[in-house]
């Protein structure tokens, strides 16, 4: 195995892990906090990438394009939330319907299935020109800045009255309703924020990889779940209860670990067509860790 090639692959894996980690934050919000398996993320990730790509090619400031992509993701989450809460469509089916609809919408936005960003100014290329950074390092720095800022904002938001109601909705809906809070509104709000974050991730990934593609969000939900579970299992392995801010951060760290595993395995000779199988195996192993821990002998005081 070429260790120089492995080092280069690891650098790229960490950079991509941070950018995709923002998506993992969005999935964490619905999957862990609201207890909703939201399938919209496959479409909203591509929506963020598609929206950002077309805006950047039209000369819009790359940062403004990311912000607009965030609002596009919010609208996608709103559509899923309204279908679930107002039309009483099951949450998983509502997400699937939004995901299917977003495929056509994303093609409408771009005008075709793929938009290259070669020769177009992006956040990454601006960082490379001003700071003399490599493409991977610029992606890592941008991803870290956005990731840490969003973790801080989510931590602050979840400590507010609305944020506390949002977290309580996932734990005990009846108690929240007894307090006079609309759980439907909390679910819609959570889905909006979640898909907004996922769209930001899609926008940054599109700028990093140099193109926006209608299929770039395929398998996003699986990658997000794998990253969340890896982060929880690795950083919570010793049984210590993690503070909430570190739980949010562990979602991004889990995404980095997932990308590193993929990079190492590819360097060992695994075909790229086997990545979905590898992802499934990683998720199964991560989910089985708590069960395995249960069989281990416990220390006696």
- Give bridge partners of residue 115 from the DSSP assignment: 212
**Residue 241 belongs to a domain:** no
Q: In total, how many domains does the chain have?
A: 1
Structural domain boundaries, residue 184: 8-218
At 147, the pLDDT band (50, 70, 90 cuts) reads: very high
**Residue 163 belongs to a domain:** yes
Q: Residue 159 pLDDT more than 80?
A: yes
| Measured distance CA(204)–CA(153) in Å, rounded | 18
**Residue 282 belongs to a domain:** no
Determine contact, residues 70/52, Cβ cutoff 8 Å: no
| Measured distance CA(35)–CA(173) in Å, rounded | 11
Of 28, 70, 23, which Cα lies nearest the Cα of 166?
28
Percent of the chain topping pLDDT 70: 93
Of 216, 224, 172, 164, which Cα lies nearest the Cα of 190?
164
Of the spans 32-36, 116-120, 186-190, which averages the highest pLDDT?
186-190
Q: Which two tokens stand for residue 256?
A: 């980095």
- Number of neighbours of residue 172 by Cβ within 10 angstroms: 11
**Residue 224 belongs to a domain:** no
**Residue 255 belongs to a domain:** no
Q: CA geometry: angle at 289 spanning 288 and 292, to 5°?
A: 90
Q: Residue 299 pLDDT more than 70?
A: no
Between 220-235 and 41-57, two packed helices, what is the crossing angle to 10 degrees?
110
Measure CA of the first residue to CA of the last residue in the chain; give whole Å.
46
Could you give the C-alpha distances from 6 to 10, 185, 230, 264, 284, in angstroms and in order?
A: 6, 47, 22, 7, 26
At 301, the pLDDT band (50, 70, 90 cuts) reads: very low
Q: Is the pTM of this model over 0.85?
A: yes
**Residue 125 belongs to a domain:** yes
**Residue 92 belongs to a domain:** yes
- Number of neighbours of residue 10 by Cβ within 10 angstroms: 16
**Residue 171 belongs to a domain:** yes
pLDDT, one tens digit per residue, over 162-196 is: 998 998 888 888 888 888 888 999 999 999 999 99
pLDDT, one tens digit per residue, over 77-91 is: 999 999 999 999 999
Q: Mean pLDDT in the chain?
A: 87
Of 219, 224, 222, which Cα lies nearest the Cα of 198?
224
Query: 179 CB contacts (<8 Å, ≥6 apart)?
Result: 165
Of 56, 62, 57, 85, which Cα lies nearest the Cα of 192?
85
pLDDT, one tens digit per residue, over 230-268 is: 888 777 655 567 788 888 888 999 899 888 888 888 777
């Amino acid at each position: 195995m070429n260790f120089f090639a492995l080092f280069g692959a690891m650098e790229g894996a960490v950079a991509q892990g941070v950018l995709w980690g923002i998506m993992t934050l969005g999935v964490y919000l619905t999957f862990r906090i609201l207890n909703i398996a939201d399938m919209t993320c496959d479409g909203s990730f591509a929506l963020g990438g598609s929206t950002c790509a077309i805006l950047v090619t039209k000369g819009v400031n790359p940062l403004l394009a990311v912000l607009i992509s965030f609002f596009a993701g919010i609208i996608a989450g709103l559509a899923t939330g309204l279908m679930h809460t107002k039309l009483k469509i099951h949450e998983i089916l509502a997400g699937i319907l939004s995901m299917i609809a977003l495929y056509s919408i994303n093609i409408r936005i771009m005008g075709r299935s793929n938009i290259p960003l070669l020769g177009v100014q992006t956040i990454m290329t601006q960082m490379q020109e001003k700071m003399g950074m490599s493409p991977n390092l610029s992606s890592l720095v941008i991803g870290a800045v956005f990731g840490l800022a969003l973790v801080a904002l989510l931590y602050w938001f979840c400590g507010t009255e609305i944020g506390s109601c949002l977290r309580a909705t996932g734990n005990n809906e009846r108690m929240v309703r007894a307090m006079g809070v609309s759980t439907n509104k909390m679910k819609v709000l959570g889905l909006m924020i979640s898909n907004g974050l996922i769209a930001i991730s899609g926008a940054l990934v599109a700028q990093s990889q140099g193109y926006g593609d209608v299929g770039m969000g395929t398998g996003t939900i699986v990658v997000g779940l794998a990253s969340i579970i890896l982060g929880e299992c690795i950083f919570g392995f010793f049984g210590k209860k993690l503070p909430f801010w570190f739980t949010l951060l562990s979602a991004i760290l889990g995404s980095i670990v997932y990308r590193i595993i993929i990079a190492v395995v590819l360097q060992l000779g695994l075909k790229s067509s086997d990545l979905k199988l590898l992802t499934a195996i990683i998720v199964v192993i991560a989910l089985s860790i708590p069960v395995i821990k249960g069989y281990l002998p416990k220390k006696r005081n």
